[in-house]
């Protein structure tokens, strides 16, 4: 459910954030525009670039919402490192932009688990995205239960992260890449210790340990003149005007109910389901696991409370049962005919 609260960013409070040094940020932007690589920046430039990235997207830098990933770039034929939002950043961005995520479908594609999601914004804009994970190991064997469960949850995270980033115009991180760990001056640590890894993954613990972090160091509070601002604007979050006429409803219309009833009787004609008692029994058993409002033995009552998809699923189910019944009768007739010929 989309929240009605106005989105808030910690960047609205200048006392709660760090701002990039203007000169370092300018040189960092020029460097990144030319090379697309943050690993070749100086520590000061890298820190300024990450702070600038957080500021323009509306992220809180002290939460470690971004990470640096090194991967192979086929275009440049070398390894490059770039800044990407983490899963925590996707939660912040989804809240700031009031993105409601809807899971459309979960399915298996060979050995891959696929999750399809759809994002909705108050202004009516929608966007679809998918996520994939493998459920087998390198030897082609099914993952153990704990890894299998983690892979399912990871797939949902990947799909939602890609969705949120795509809706606001940011690219998703490459799935095949090496996480780079940063020190207190934003330097790249080639051999990070366990403490370094912990503080990168949980930067809020740096304040408790007393170890400084570049995200929390203040710099001159001067904005860049040409810095694009990707934070949500009021017009992006404003819902569209309600059209004239009665408010929309998901309740089935009388025409829908008549159409579904006609489809039922056409499907069960000349079968065992073409009987009042059998129809009531089927509907009662079919709706046993539904919410209380849909549990009934009346086909018409079910259709009046059902959605298009629920009605379609019931009709598809009964068609399959009738088809199996007719196939069994046909096979029995063929068998009887053969027996009579032999006699």
Chain segment 291-325, per-residue pLDDT in tens: 887 888 999 999 988 888 888 889 998 898 888 88
Taken in order 59, 65, 68, 69, is the CA torsion positive or negative? negative
pTM: 0.58
Of residues 19 and 328, more confidently modeled: 328
Summarised one tens digit per residue, pLDDT across range 105-132 is 999 998 899 999 999 998 888 999 999 9
Q: What's the rounded Cα separation, in Å, for the pair 325 and 273?
A: 10
- For helices 145-167 and 87-96, the axis angle rounded to 10 degrees is 40
Question: Is the pLDDT confidence value at 10 over 60?
Answer: no
Within a 10 A sphere around the Cβ of 186, how many other Cβ atoms? Answer: 23
Question: Is the pLDDT confidence value at 220 over 50?
Answer: no
Q: What's the rounded Cα separation, in Å, for the pair 45 and 32?
A: 10
Mean pLDDT over each residue of the chain, to the nearest integer: 81
Q: Percentage of the chain with pLDDT > 90?
A: 21
SS3 of the chain: the string is CCCCCCCCCHHHCHHHCCCCCHHHHHHHHHHHHHHCCCCCCCHHHHHHHHHHHHHHHCCCHHHCCEEEEEEEECCCCEEEEEEEECHHHHHHHHHHCCCEEEEEEEEEECCEEEEEEEEECCCCCEEEEEEEEECECCCCCECCHHHHHHHHHHHHHHHHHHHHHHHCCCCCCCCCCEEEEECCCCCEECCCCHHHHHHHHCCCHHHHHCCCCHHHCCCCCCCCCCCCCCCCCHHHHCCCCCCCCCCCCCCCCHHHHHHHHHHHHHHHCCCCCCCHHHHHHHHHHHCCCCCHHHCCCCHHHHHHHCCHHHHHHHHHHHHHHHHHHHHHHHHHHHHHHHHHHHC
pLDDT band at 1 (very low <50, low <70, confident <90, very high): very low
pLDDT band at 17 (very low <50, low <70, confident <90, very high): very low
Summarised one tens digit per residue, pLDDT across range 236-277 is 677 777 777 766 666 788 899 999 999 999 998 888 888 899
Domain ranges of the chain: 1-85+171-239, 98-167, 254-335
């Amino acid at each position: 459910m989309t929240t009605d609260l106005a989105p808030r960013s910690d960047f609205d409070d200048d006392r709660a954030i760090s701002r990039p040094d203007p000169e370092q940020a300018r040189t960092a932007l020029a460097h990144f525009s030319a090379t697309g690589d943050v690993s070749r920046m100086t520590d000061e430039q890298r820190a300024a670039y990450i702070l600038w990235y957080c500021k323009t997207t509306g992220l809180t830098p002290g939460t470690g919402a971004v990470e640096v990933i090194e991967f192979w770039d086929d275009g440049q034929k070398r390894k490059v490192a770039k800044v990407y939002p983490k899963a925590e950043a996707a939660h912040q961005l989804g809240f700031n932009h009031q993105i409601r995520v809807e899971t459309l479908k979960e399915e298996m594609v060979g050995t891959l688990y696929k999750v399809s999601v759809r994002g909705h914004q108050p202004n009516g804009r929608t966007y679809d995205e998918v996520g994939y994970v493998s459920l087998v190991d390198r030897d082609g064997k099914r993952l153990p239960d704990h890894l299998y469960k983690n892979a399912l949850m990871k797939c949902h995270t990947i799909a939602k992260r890609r969705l949120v980033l795509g809706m606001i115009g940011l690219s998703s991180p490459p799935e095949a890449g090496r996480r780079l760990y940063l020190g207190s001056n934003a330097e790249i640590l080639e051999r990070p210790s366990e403490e370094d890894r912990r503080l990168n993954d949980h930067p809020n613990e740096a304040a408790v340990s007393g170890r400084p972090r570049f995200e929390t160091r203040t710099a001159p509070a001067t904005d860049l003149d040409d810095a694009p601002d990707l934070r949500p604007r009021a017009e992006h979050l404003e819902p569209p005007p309600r059209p004239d006429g009665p408010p929309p409803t998901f309740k089935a219309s009388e025409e829908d109910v008549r159409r579904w009833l006609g489809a039922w009787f056409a499907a069960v004609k000349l079968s065992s389901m073409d009987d009042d008692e059998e129809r009531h029994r089927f509907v009662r058993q079919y709706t046993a696991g539904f919410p209380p409002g849909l549990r009934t033995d009346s086909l018409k009552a079910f259709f009046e409370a059902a959605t298009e998809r629920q009605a379609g699923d019931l009709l598809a189910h009964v068609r399959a049962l009738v088809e199996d019944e007719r196939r069994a009768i046909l096979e029995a007739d063929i068998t009887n005919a053969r027996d009579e010929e032999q006699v």
